[in-house]
Amino acid sequence: MPSVIEVTDLRKSYGGRPVVDGVSFAVEEGEIFGILGPNGAGKTTTVECVEGLRVPDGGRIRVAGLDPVADHAKVAQTLGAQLQQSEIQAKLTVREALELYAAFYPRPADWRPLAERLGLTGKLGTRFGKLSGGQQQRLFIALALIGGPRIVVLDELTTGLDPRARRDTWQLIEDVRASGVTVLLVTHFMEEAQRLCDRIAVIDKGRVAALDTPAGLIHRSAGATVISFTPSAPLDERELAALPALASIEHQNGRLTLSGTDETVDAVLTLLARHRVTAHQLRVVDATLDDAFLDLTKEATA
């Protein structure tokens, strides 16, 4: 697939302190591409440069072949954005907001089916200040899409939402992609990135620590499989430490949690059988993106 966003060696500093320090990635048309990282990692500065809201100190950015700064007016017709901190006048109704934003574009999308798709039809007469957090986020998605963009950037879209509203918003993002829009999603929620993204760039301290699919990032984790149990009798620490491909071991209230690979799991089961120790409440699970993220950012810091 062709790349609709290309970022090469992007650099941005504030007061002499580098916030984005050589970031490079490409977003393919039709995918949900995630930018994941801790607070202060440089995620928002990166996407604001992509949107043309900030001027980079160095590097090259192209959005659908356009320079976001030199060709800002054209990029604004191609890219819709929901900013990290979004707000509109509290007394503006949903209908008024949709009509106002539609007036900014020469060929806007019809906001009526857009409002229907986002569950806002029943709230058209409601003032923005009276909407719930989830309803406000739905409106911001509508405003980002009302220009009929080819690409939409969603920055920390679900921050502050309760679990149900967050999952509803995830479904909306999947629906947006299904309609043919490429999504650049900025988040620090691991579950959100793992659920939604086709590929993820992990940014830490202004640099790309890793770029892969969620499954690929998890597979690269030092402990891709986790086994936990409470042994019926103590196990020798030296034997546990010698287990193959062991990444970590944790003791808590008599329960053991070991991370490693399938080889580690097989070796643990063999060890238990050899010593005739029963594993109570045995659980074997794949590592999550959260586990991979901690490993990757630890490596980037080292």
For every residue of 75-98, DSSP letters joined together read HHHHEEEE-SS----TT-BHHHHH
| Residue type for position 293 | F
**Listed residue (141, 156, 133) closest to 36, CA to CA:** 156
| pLDDT at site 302 | 43
Which H helix or E strand runs over 241? Answer: helix 237-241
Walk me through the domains of the chain, giving residue ranges and CATH numbers. Answer: 3-213 (3.40.50.300), 222-286 (3.30.70.250)
| pLDDT at site 300 | 47
Buried b / exposed e along 284-296 (16+ C-beta atoms within 10 A): eeebbbebbbbbb
**Listed residue (103, 119, 9) closest to 62, CA to CA:** 9
Report how far apart the first and last C-alpha atoms of the chain are (Å, whole number). Answer: 35
| pLDDT at site 143 | 92
Contact (Cβ atoms closer than 8 angstroms) between residue 264 and residue 284? no
- Residue 245, helix vs strand vs coil: coil
Q: What are the average pLDDT values for consecutive 10-residue runs of the chain, which has 302 residues?
A: 91 94 96 91 93 96 96 93 82 95 90 88 95 86 90 85 81 89 90 92 92 85 81 95 91 92 92 96 84 68 44
| pLDDT at site 50 | 96
- Which residues, in sequence order, are CB contacts of 186 under 8 Å at separation 6+? 34, 35, 43, 44, 47, 84, 153, 154, 155, 156
Measured from the Cβ of residue 159, the count of other Cβ atoms closer than 10 Å reads 14
User: Dmax over Cα atoms in the chain, in whole Å?
Assistant: 75
Measured from the Cβ of residue 15, the count of other Cβ atoms closer than 10 Å reads 5
What does the DSSP 8-state code read for residue 123?
G
Measured from the Cβ of residue 302, the count of other Cβ atoms closer than 10 Å reads 5
Helices and strands (H and E) in the chain: how many:
11, 13
| pLDDT at site 298 | 66
Contact (Cβ atoms closer than 8 angstroms) between residue 35 and residue 184? yes
Structural tokens at position 194: 């793992």
